[in-house]
């Protein structure tokens, strides 16, 4: 049975809410998310299972339904749950164990980023290949120039996000298919990061920038295989940083 079939026919899950205890803390948002993750683990819920309704969760935790709804909205934004009108709320991704040094929310964000990165890898490989094959001479020159600006900002410890967007935007444009750029930009905004998230800091992913030079040079040279290898190397570095954060002590992140 596929997860989709399970979503369609499985009856309401057992009373997982019995594993919840009332929350008495000023940081209720984080506490609710931690409590829900622990509930899922203790109840043995998995992908395709339905979680208890909002009213049950709110009553057991002693918080308002608005607090529960905000927590579930966050999980929905991370691709962890899916709401089905008239049917309930279902798990569509694994929730990592609530035990360990790394806060639950950071691990959930990290795993969501890994899923997002898998999609990006497929798209980026194709857009880079097309850009390498289709770019006009002026576009190749512009990609190289923008790479110089990006690396100068990164190595000079200046704000680099604008230069990074310009560099990748030039590659998307050179691919000849504007839909690539639109989809990839949408993916960049698909996952909302918490204020305390290490994945939103300027230092996150810095090790992936030097290989951007290899990517630009391969596009300029018209070597599609080399360009695809470069973008995958960049994504490998980012993936490694994500895994290091979710597997480590948060004080080291």
* 224 and 126 both lie in a single domain: yes
* 197 and 158 both lie in a single domain: yes
For the chain, how are helix, strand and coil distributed in percent, rounded to 5? Answer: 65, 5, 30
Specify burial of residue 249 (Cβ count, 10 A radius: 0-12, 13-18, 19+).
exposed
User: Which positions ≥6 away from 213 have C-beta within 8 Å?
Assistant: 147, 151
SS3 (DSSP) at 51:
strand
Find the CATH number of the domain harbouring 134: 1.20.120.530
Tokens of 1: 């049975």
Q: Does residue 99 lie within any of the structural domains?
A: no
Under 8 Å between Cβ of 111 and 96: yes
Q: Does residue 151 lie within any of the structural domains?
A: yes
pTM recorded for the entire structure? 0.73
Q: To which residue do tokens 């497929």 refer?
A: 122
Q: To which residue do tokens 């895994």 refer?
A: 243
Residue 200, phi then psi, degrees to nearest 5: -105, 0
- Domain range for 245 is 104-252
Q: How many domains does the chain have?
A: 2
* 161 and 51 both lie in a single domain: no
Q: Does residue 158 lie within any of the structural domains?
A: yes
Q: Does residue 98 lie within any of the structural domains?
A: no
Q: What is the pLDDT along the chain (253 residues), one digit of tens a residue?
A: 555 454 444 444 557 767 665 655 544 567 888 888 889 988 999 999 999 999 999 999 988 999 999 889 888 888 889 999 888 999 998 887 656 667 777 888 888 889 889 999 999 999 999 999 999 999 999 999 999 999 999 999 999 999 999 999 999 999 999 888 888 878 776 665 666 678 878 788 899 999 999 999 999 999 999 999 999 999 999 999 999 988 874 443 4
* 84 and 160 both lie in a single domain: no
Q: Sheet containing 88-91: give its strands across.
A: 50-51, 88-91, 81-84
């Amino acid at each position: 049975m596929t997860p989709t079939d399970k979503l369609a026919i499985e009856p309401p899950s057992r009373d997982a809410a019995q594993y919840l205890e009332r929350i008495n803390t000023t940081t209720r948002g984080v506490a609710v998310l931690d409590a829900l993750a622990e509930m899922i683990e203790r109840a043995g819920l998995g992908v395709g299972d339905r979680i208890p309704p909002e009213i049950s969760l709110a009553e057991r935790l002693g918080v308002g339904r608005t607090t529960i709804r905000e927590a579930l909205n966050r999980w929905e934004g991370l691709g962890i749950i899916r709401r089905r009108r008239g049917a309930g709320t279902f798990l569509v991704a694994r929730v990592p164990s609530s035990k360990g040094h790394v806060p639950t929310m950071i691990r959930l964000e990290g795993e969501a980023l890994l899923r997002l990165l898998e999609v990006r890898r497929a798209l980026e490989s194709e857009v880079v290949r097309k850009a390498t094959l289709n770019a006009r001479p002026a576009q190749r020159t512009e990609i190289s120039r923008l790479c110089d600006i990006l690396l100068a900002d990164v190595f000079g410890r200046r704000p680099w996000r604008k230069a990074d967007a310009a560099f990748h935007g030039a590659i998307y444009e050179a691919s000849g298919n504007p839909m690539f750029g639109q989809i990839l930009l949408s993916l960049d905004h698909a996952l909302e990061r918490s204020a305390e998230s290490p994945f939103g800091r300027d230092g996150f992913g810095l090790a992936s920038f030097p290989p951007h030079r290899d990517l630009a040079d391969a596009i300029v040279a018209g070597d599609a295989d080399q360009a695809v290898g470069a973008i995958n190397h960049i994504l490998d570095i980012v993936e490694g940083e994500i895994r290091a954060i979710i597997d480590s002590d948060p004080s080291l992140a």
